[in-house]
Amino acid sequence: MTPWKGVDVGVKVRLIKTRTLVAVMIAVAVGTGYFIWGAVPEKQKQAEAPRVSRPVKTMVVAAAGDGSPRVFPGRVQASQKVNLAFRVSGQIVEFPAVKGNYAEPGDLLARLDPRDFEVQLANAKSELGSARARLDAMRSGARKEEIAMLSAKVNSARAQMNDAKATLDRVENMFRAGGMSRSELEKAHTSYEVTRMAYQSASQELSAGRKGARPEDVSAMEFTVQGIEAKVRSAENALADTALRAPFGGVVIDRYADNNQSIQRDQPIVSLQDIGALEVYTSVPETLVISYPKGPILGIEARFASLPDVRFPLIYKEASAQADPVTQSYQVSFSFPVPEGLTVLPGMTVDVLVPRPPEEGGAEAELPASAITAGEGTSHFVWRVEGTDKLFVRKIPVEILGYREDMALVKGAAPGDRIVAAGVSLLLEGDPVTLYTPPGQ
């Protein structure tokens, strides 16, 4: 006997529809729940998942000490460092500069082939001599022998003019008497005019020879001589620039070319550093800049890792007026008078000890760098362990004031706080923790 036997057909249809609707609703509910769970962020799933208490290595914060100086990492640099280059192009023929050797001021570091520059200077001097001779002649007038020649030329022109005038007078008389044609008269007249103009020209040459050139011509020649003199000075400078010399006493740090190499002007050839006058550079946070009054800070000292118990005074030199966009710190430089018997070279690291302001107490702590986590932007924080029966971690913002080796000087962690010292990247806000106990303890 079937389950539907004896049941009305309408009832059967309603039962089938009801069962189908229930099945569809169950399927939709299951699918919606799966979709919603898939849309939940992974971090939220982890947060909603049961948190397992993890053991962490911790430490108790101790005060950095009242009156103790702040410590910032620094680096020694030469007060003067230049890359020297030739001001002219050419081929290197001498290169006495040796890396590591000390050069006195004025010592030859490199030399270019000077032959082309010597020829240019000789040509310029020759041109200048010729121009000066012409100027002298224009100023003083012609020489005696030239005056004599011009006088003879004037006398000859005068005689020719007188002969032509006598001929013209005779022809005119004959023309009036009817014994000479008009063409002969015109020819005699033309001959006279030519000789007269020749006489006038010779007379002007003689006058110019006795008086000298015109003032405007002399002035133009003077400017020409000045231009050639500048050309000579330029050639002399170019010849002098074939020798590259040390502008100050220092050590040759590097060479950027080889002997017999052709180089271009302004191409770096030698790097020179003055290690007799050294400087120390460090970067300080903005809080230090704000907490101190304007002006240099007194009592700043340097300390080398090889001499931890010896401190060397530093002299404030200058500070940048704009913070580094990445570290938000300000660069400060100090002069470092090197004591006799101490070998200090550029590039060495040094601790810069900065005294605290008188009103500042011991509100800072020294923590291992492994305990500090980078936050958003330039912020940092540490994980503080809180609670009594059940321990958990809480994020505490801190400000880094300086570093010394693997330790950091921070503000924000109070003395007595227990913070996580290692494995900080695995923690989330509110994570339960237990205190790690090394085996055997």
pLDDT along the chain (441 residues), means of 10: 46 53 57 51 53 84 67 88 95 94 94 95 92 80 73 92 92 87 89 92 79 76 93 96 94 94 95 88 80 67 88 88 83 87 86 73 72 86 89 90 74 84 87 78 48
Q: Tell whether 329 and 308 lie within a shared domain.
A: yes
Could you tell me if residue 72 is inside a domain?
no
Q: Which residues pair with 102 in a beta bridge?
A: 251
Q: Tell whether 365 and 392 lie within a shared domain.
A: yes
User: How far from 164 is each of 77, 158, 168, 178, 184, CA to CA, in Å?
Assistant: 96, 10, 6, 21, 13
Q: Tell whether 100 and 186 lie within a shared domain.
A: no
Could you tell me if residue 45 is inside a domain?
no
Residue 179 to residue 187: CA distance in whole angstroms: 15
pLDDT of residue 2: 44
Residue 139 to residue 219: CA distance in whole angstroms: 10
Token pair, residue 233, equals 């000075």
Classify 65 as helix, strand or coil. coil
Domain end (from 354, 375, 401): 354
pLDDT of residue 143: 65
Q: Among residues 348, 349, 342, which one has the least CA distance to residue 310?
A: 342
Cα of 176 vs its chain's centroid, Å: 99
Q: Tell whether 336 and 383 lie within a shared domain.
A: no
Residue 375 to residue 383: CA distance in whole angstroms: 12
- C-beta separation of 367 from 413 below 8 A: yes
Could you tell me if residue 76 is inside a domain?
no
Domain end (from 226, 259, 288): 226
pLDDT of residue 125: 94
Token pair, residue 385, equals 């362990």
pLDDT of residue 136: 81
Angle CA(302)–CA(307)–CA(309) in degrees, nearest 5?
A: 80
Q: Tell whether 378 and 402 lie within a shared domain.
A: yes
**240-276 burial code (b ≥16 CB/10 A, e <16):** ebbebebebbbbbbebebeeeeebeeeeebbbbbbbe
* Backbone angles phi and psi of 314, in degrees to 5: -115, 150
Q: Tell whether 209 and 265 lie within a shared domain.
A: no
Total tally of structural domains belonging to the chain:
4
Q: Tell whether 246 and 383 lie within a shared domain.
A: no
Q: Tell whether 419 and 380 lie within a shared domain.
A: yes
Could you tell me if residue 202 is inside a domain?
yes
CATH number for the domain that contains residue 414: 2.40.420.20
Q: What's the Rg (C-alpha) of the chain?
A: 51
pLDDT of residue 103: 93
Q: Tell whether 188 and 262 lie within a shared domain.
A: no
pLDDT of residue 225: 93
**Pairing state of beta strands 54-56 and 373-374?**
unpaired
Could you tell me if residue 429 is inside a domain?
yes
Q: Tell whether 249 and 101 lie within a shared domain.
A: yes
Could you tell me if residue 168 is inside a domain?
yes
Q: Tell whether 261 and 300 lie within a shared domain.
A: no
The packing angle between helices 182-211 and 144-177, to 10°, is 160
- C-beta separation of 270 from 92 below 8 A: no
Residue 335 to residue 277: CA distance in whole angstroms: 8
Q: Tell whether 108 and 159 lie within a shared domain.
A: no
pTM for the full predicted model: 0.51
Could you tell me if residue 120 is inside a domain?
no
Max Cα-Cα span within the chain = 183
CB neighbours (10 Å) of residue 374? 11
Residue 357 to residue 66: CA distance in whole angstroms: 11
Residue 179 belongs to domain spanning: 125-226
Residue 69 to residue 354: CA distance in whole angstroms: 5
CB neighbours (10 Å) of residue 168? 19
Could you tell me if residue 234 is inside a domain?
no
Q: What's the DSSP call for residue 369?
A: G
Residue 303 to residue 214: CA distance in whole angstroms: 79
Taking the CA atoms of 102, 108, 113 and 117 in sequence, report the sign of the dihedral they define: positive
